[in-house]
Amino acid sequence: MLTGSTDVWYEHFYLSLQAASAGLGWAIASELMAYDELSDGRMAAPRGFVADGSAYHLLSPVPFEHDSRRLALFDWLHAEANASSQA
Residue 5 scores a pLDDT above 70: no
* pLDDT tens digits for range 45-76: 999 988 888 888 888 888 888 888 989 999 99
User: Alpha-carbon distance 23 to 17, whole Å?
Assistant: 10
Domain boundaries, the chain: 1-52, 56-87
Residue 29 scores a pLDDT above 80: yes
CB-based contact 1:8 (threshold 8 Å): yes
**What end-to-end distance do the CA atoms of the chain give, in Å?**
37
Residues of the chain with pLDDT > 90, as a percent, come to 26
Task: Work out the mean pLDDT of the chain and round it to a whole number.
Answer: 85
